Amino acid sequence: MIEIKKNRTEQARMDFVSGLMGYNSTGIGAAMATYYQNKTKKHKHTPQMQEVKEIMEKSPIYKFGSFFERHNHALMFQTTLDILENRKEEVISWLDSYDEKNTLGSLKLNPNLGIPSYYEKIEIHTQPGNYHGPYGGFLYHWMIGPFLVDRDENDEMGWDLANGIPKGDYKKILDLGCGIGKSTFPYCDLYPDAEVYGLDYAAPMIKYGHKLAESRGKKISFVQNFAEETGFEDNSFDLVTALWLFHEIPKPAMRKVVKEAYRILKPGGVFAIMESPPYKMMNKNYNPLSEFLLNSTAIRMHDPSIMTLMKLHRPDLLSEGGFKDTKDVALPNHLTGYDNEGSYFFGAFPWWMTIGTK
């Protein structure tokens, strides 16, 4: 991997914004949870969303926290971009260098692909330039640590899904919306004899992912294409996965991705996605504050499809695309501490796998 030596000022700025990101979850988040608990401790009923909204929107900590979230993200992005821009030539030429002869895996780019129409008008979760901006991979990798309060350092989310999928004789595996490969790596370890593919529309993500995979000794074929139209042959995969893809694409795109997964899977093949649980489940089993905060973050941070996915009955989405035996499965969640000790500020909830068979 490229080694970027930050000067003292750059390091200080990075430390500062990482601290802000962490404080957003652990400090502000905890303060909001305390405020909410105090306001509702005498309630005999579980507050409905309108009530949660009224409680929180009056609270100084929520008002402050909303501004803080938006602005600490912007500062984090800008700080990272400044550091990279100061070394633009070095960084871009590293990213673009590709030595096909001496690599374990491969990188197949498609320079004429374009971008999904739904990313034309927004920058998803306010990321400057979206995933396809030149520094997409760096922004994702540098920010995911502080954003997830260092709870995904060892690709825990990827492992949570990979371990949740029933073990099988998977010989060809595809991870849709693979990003920099964090959700793809576990399959190389779990199924060392399998051919592992990662697909993403954004070249800067898979260019970075390819370098990261090589540096970790993981053999992955990265392919630039749309999850809705992968270009792979019918009946060619045993397992297709998507981690943290569905909440970022609109419903018609979700439907297309499910159909595409069905087309490229062999009969008996498995399709599994992982996201946060639907709001209904959060309300029933977890703190309704989780729903309110996720919803408001989705609006504030330009992640509009979160709200669609969280209302969907996901097994039906898979069944409509042709899959059978579709079901939701609650998985351990290292991020929130669900089933794994510890808890997150707005309620420990599980990861939510939705799985079906062709």
Ligand X SMILES: C[S@@+](CC[C@H](N)C(=O)[O-])C[C@H]1O[C@@H](n2cnc3c(N)ncnc32)[C@H](O)[C@@H]1O
Pair 36, 289: CB distance under 8 Å:
yes
Minimum distance from residue 3 beta carbon to ligand X (Å): 22
* Residue 201 in contact with ligand X, rule: CB under 6 A: yes
* Residue 69 in contact with ligand X, rule: CB under 6 A: no
Helix intervals (H) in 265-343? 279-285, 288-300, 305-309, 314-320
x/- contact string, 222-241, with ligand X (CB under 6 A)? ----xxx-------------
Minimum distance from residue 202 beta carbon to ligand X (Å): 4
* Residue 244 in contact with ligand X, rule: CB under 6 A: yes
* Residue 249 in contact with ligand X, rule: CB under 6 A: yes
Site for ligand X in 135-164 (CB under 6 A): 157
Contacts of 257 (CB under 8 A, 6+ apart): 176, 227, 228, 242, 245, 246, 249
Q: Which residue, 133 or 337, has its beta carbon nearer to ligand X?
A: 133
Instruction: Count how many Cα atoms sit within 13 Å of the Cα of residue 34 in the half-sphere of its side chain.
Output: 8
Q: What residues pair up with 200 in beta bridges, in sequence order?
A: 224
Instruction: Give how far Cα 331 sits from Cα of 25, 38, 145, 255, 357, Å.
Output: 22, 30, 21, 23, 18
* Residue 83 in contact with ligand X, rule: CB under 6 A: no
Site for ligand X in 106-135 (CB under 6 A): 116, 131
Number of residues located near ligand X, criterion CB under 6 A: 20
* Residue 200 in contact with ligand X, rule: CB under 6 A: yes
Q: Which stretch binds ligand X (CB under 6 A): 78-86, 95-103, 171-179, 338-346?
A: 171-179
Q: What is the DSSP string of 14-79?
A: HHHHHHHHHHIIIIIHHHHHHHHHHHHTT-SSPPPHHHHHHHHHT-HHHHHHHHHHHHHHHHHHHH
Minimum distance from residue 248 beta carbon to ligand X (Å): 5
What is the contact surface with ligand X in residues (CB under 6 A)? 116, 131, 157, 177-179, 182-183, 200-202, 205, 226-228, 243-245, 248-249
